[in-house]
Amino acid sequence: MRLEALVQGSISAVLDRLGLSPPEIPVERPPRPEFGDLTSRVAFLLAQEARRPPQTIAQDLARELSSHPAFSQVQAVQGFLNFFLRPEVQHSILREILRDGLAYGKGEEGRGKKLQVEFVSSNPTGPLTIGHGRQAALGDVLANLFSELGWQVTREYYLNDEGRQIELLAQSLWARYRQALGDPQPIPEGGYHGDYLIPIGQELAEKFGNAYPEWNAEAKAVFRAEVVPRMLRLIEEDLEAIGVRFDVWTREGEIIRKGLVDEVLRLLRERKAVYEKDGAIWLSAKVHGLGRDPVLIRSDGTPTYLMVDIAYHLDKFRRGFDWVVDVQGADHIEEQQQVKLALRLLGFPEGFLSYCLHQFVTLKGVEGIEKMSTRAGRFLRLKDLVDEVGRDATRYFMVMRKPESHLVFDFELAKKQSLENPVYYVQYAHTRIASVFREAQARGELPEDFLSVDLSPLKEPEELRMIAELDRFPDVVRLAAREFAPHLLCEYLENLAGIFHPYYARVRILGQGPATPARLALLAGVKLVLFRGLSILGVNAPEEM
């Protein structure tokens, strides 16, 4: 049984005897060890019902609970109940963790349900930047977290391979092609200046010669067909570098060709949710509380990105997903509100679509903060960043801050192989334990079965604190998934490593008689949880460094 559940159960049993029923029984980790191993403010929630001060209620509960075999002491302090656990209770928790092994921390909440996580979905107009890297890591780790909770997860990339931006990209490539032939054609207004188009233009100059001297319908078709697959290869290289693979790639053109745009328009018309004005078709959004009415179909008859996105979510629903999570930048908030409104008007189940929002990334390097712009050609390609600092550091740094906070990627810190680097700090804890195990094996001190080890020698405050921290891991996994907050897992791992490293430096593990197998069992639990957490983040847990 988990520690919080143990305390909640003991309080609940006493309250049943006293005929009291609070709305909840909150149990938390206290900020300081003198407040116990766990604390509860349940007395404050009972004060109105019992018509007594919280401290008086807490004192009565403490008297009732003091005889419980799991607690060495129960204190009533200013209305709070502080619980001090007996070491053998902590030992039983460690034994359960070791028994669960790699299944420890897994849940059943999503069992039998299908979840789609759509992320990155960058237009195929160039390679991915470190800005895209945050979304790639964030979406992939969220998918891992929900997989841990039993969801059947599909990772999906939505490819916007239609529209004005693709035309500008094709024309930008044509300009590079003409420049390679000595014709100084300018990049079109709003086009793409990135150097990544220069070698492709040179290649096409050799392939086509002077076959396309003018930018016309024929050139547009040819250069569009040439540029999109090449940009996709660049994107796939960047994704491979950061360790992200998608189960499904859906193209905007497919959604249109399936007739889903026409179907959505028909359904919205039936619900009187659209109107015509100036030759265009608009979504009636202001009457439902949004700031403006967006265009769905332009006056030339082409659908807007918003319209196709709504149709895309109809496609998701029909593919049988129970829940859809779209990972997007915070600059898309207005569009997200419009999509959610359209789905509600179409009769979609409440809660079918959720958004995980994230802020932008800037790079902090030796020259300070550098901003990126794919179109202007000033950016650091994601693959190049991974080549410089490694996949582990890239993924970890991309998710170690709250998604809603601006991320400053510290390039120099990410490269450091020292305990200053947070990912190295966590990995090094795993490596140190692996090293201890190798030495224990060589000395003949490594237990064959940790489950049969006598854990009673584990009495040091740091030892019991580590076990209590290991007990938190399943809660952290659930909260990180539910709140779209992988940074909570990073913070947890750093905290666990922060307890272990000083303990390792102070306490002798091997050659200590009965204490040695007990301490090795504790380290096995720490190593297991470090491995599990790093694996969810898509980061290696090295045996040697």
Taking the domains of the chain in order of start, what are their residue ranges? 3-85, 114-158+246-358, 164-242, 418-536
Q: Class of the 418-536 domain?
A: mainly alpha
Domain 3-85: what homologous superfamily? Arginyl tRNA synthetase N-terminal domain (3.30.1360.70)
Tokens representing 163 are 């529209």
Q: How far is CA 490 from CA 399, 415, 496, in A?
A: 8, 18, 10
Q: How far is CA 320 from CA 69, 108, 112, 152, 388, in A?
A: 50, 20, 12, 11, 41
**For residue 92, which amino acid is it?**
S
Task: Match domain 114-158+246-358 to its CATH number in 1.20.1260.10, 3.40.50.2300, 3.40.50.720, 3.40.50.620.
Answer: 3.40.50.620
**How would you classify the pairing of strands 361-365 and 248-251?**
unpaired
- Per-residue confidence in pLDDT tens, the chain, 545 aa: 689 999 999 999 999 988 888 889 999 999 888 899 999 999 999 998 888 999 999 999 999 999 999 999 999 999 999 999 999 999 999 999 999 999 999 999 999 899 999 999 988 888 998 889 999 999 999 999 999 999 999 999 999 887 788 899 999 999 999 999 999 999 999 899 888 999 999 999 999 999 999 999 999 999 999 999 999 999 999 999 999 999 999 999 899 999 999 999 999 999 999 999 999 999 999 999 999 999 999 999 999 999 999 999 999 999 999 999 999 998 889 999 999 999 999 999 999 999 999 999 988 875 555 555 555 455 678 999 999 999 999 999 999 999 999 999 999 999 999 999 999 999 999 999 999 999 999 999 999 999 999 999 999 999 999 999 999 999 999 999 999 999 999 999 999 999 999 999 999 999 999 999 999 999 999 999 999 999 999 999 999 98
Q: How far is CA 437 from CA 428, 499, 527, 544, in A?
A: 14, 19, 10, 12
Report how far residue 284's alpha carbon sits from residue 282's, in angstroms, rounded to the nearest whole number. 6
This prediction's pTM: 0.92
